[in-house]
Amino acid sequence: MANSRAQRTLLMLCGDYMEDLDAMVPFQALLAYGVSVDAVCPGKKAGDICRTAIQQASPHQTYSEWRGHNFTLNATFDAIEVSKYDGLVIPGGRAPEYLAVNESVIDLVTKFSDSGKPIAAICHGPLILAAAGSVKGRKCTGYPSVKPVLVAAGAHWVEPETLASCTLDGNLVTGAAYKGNPEYIHLFVKALGGTIKGSDKRILFLCGDYMEDYEVMVPFQSLQALGCHVDAICPKKAAGDKCITAVHDFEGDQTYSEKPGHDFTLTADFEGLDASSYDALVIPGGRAPEYLALDESVIKLVKEFMEARKPVASICHGQQILSAAGVLKGRKCTAYPAVKLDVVLAGATWLEPDPIDRCFTDGNLVTGAAWPGHPEFISQLMALLGIEVLF
């Protein structure tokens, strides 16, 4: 449930087969900024999961879809008191199609709308606002296929120029798709009365094929939403090339499961990169670090950041690269538990990630065990960079 010490308390309206990144990026970004977020779903309680969907452009006439991560709810729908919340977030995907015909959902959204509190809805999420009669006379956007419903509901439809487009109309923030998460989250923070300080930073992400989907996209877009300049590179690839990602989840087996993730588009060339122009380095986990740790150009890049004492944030299996680079001797850090051997043999003091979302800072080094720890991971990197979100 909500953290009473948080500066703002938000409600996120979830459902099965909501789009994976539509839900998790805002959820963990806002937590990292010091906002409390309760995620609920009709008919479910705290601790239950919602299945998510990965939706991505395809060569066909509409997007493709497959299973994403399992999203764990942290509050119970039937226990909601609207008066305690400062705003509402509605992810997209397919969930809004059935949530829009749920009377308890409509009642909830109507109460938020009548209160004038900030509401953010992305992708297919505005369908719920239309069902609640909350878009009449309002400017809004969404995934292009929701246009007929919004127009019929009396909205002033704003055609999205790209799938990263967002629209602000008073207390209402709408977005076309998860590609627009950075602007979507930024506008919502402002609608909540937030200000961002110290975000004039340049941050570099070290990427590779089969890095974990959340572990690249959540911190990448969270830092972009703050106003940071964020670049992503991969050896033997250039700006505009893609890295395929993996969905690693915990589903009751002796180790994590793997499913295909979203494609991730790189923003800069690896060759000829001036690493000295960046203020920090982020290393996602997944399976990419296993082979990146064998690349001498990667090792050289990591050493450059560590020797310059610039912030380096590494999560999950990312510490395999730090171990290979010989930069962990005498340091304290954590990692995904299966990487403990790499870390200890590299001369580091192992910090047990218990619970799995635990993260640690040792000087310029931030380490985390897995994607559930993103809020701590991002907030600790923000602290090293001097970035604050104030309300």
Q: Is residue 210 a contact partner of residue 242, using CB atoms and an 8 Å limit? A: no
Q: Is residue 203 a contact partner of residue 231, using CB atoms and an 8 Å limit? A: yes
Instruction: Spot the catalytic one: 69, 262, 317, 374.
Output: 317
Computed on alpha carbons and rounded to an integer, the radius of gyration of the chain in Å comes to 21
207 is catalytic: no
Cα–Cα distance measured from residue 274 to residue 294, given in angstroms and rounded to the nearest whole number: 21
Cα–Cα distance measured from residue 90 to residue 86, given in angstroms and rounded to the nearest whole number: 14
Instruction: Spot the catalytic one: 41, 228, 316, 359.
Output: 316
Cα–Cα distance measured from residue 40 to residue 56, given in angstroms and rounded to the nearest whole number: 25
How many whole angstroms from its chain centre is CA 28? 6
317 is catalytic: yes
SS3 104: helix
Phi/psi of residue 48, each to 5°?
-75, 165
SS3 265: strand
Per-residue tokens: 143: 């995934």
Cα–Cα distance measured from residue 215 to residue 217, given in angstroms and rounded to the nearest whole number: 6
Instruction: Spot the catalytic one: 50, 69, 124, 248.
Output: 124
How far the first Cα of the chain sits from its last, in Å, is: 20
Instruction: Spot the catalytic one: 14, 41, 50, 123.
Output: 123
Cα–Cα distance measured from residue 14 to residue 198, given in angstroms and rounded to the nearest whole number: 32
Look at the chain and count its residues.
391
Owner of token pair 């998510």: 52
123 is catalytic: yes
Alpha helices in 308-371 (DSSP H): 319-324, 340-345
Buried b (16+ CB within 10 A) or exposed e, 43-74: ebeeebbbebbbbbeeeeeebeeeebbbbebb
Phi/psi of residue 25, each to 5°?
-65, -55
333 is catalytic: no
Catalytic residues: 123-124, 316-317
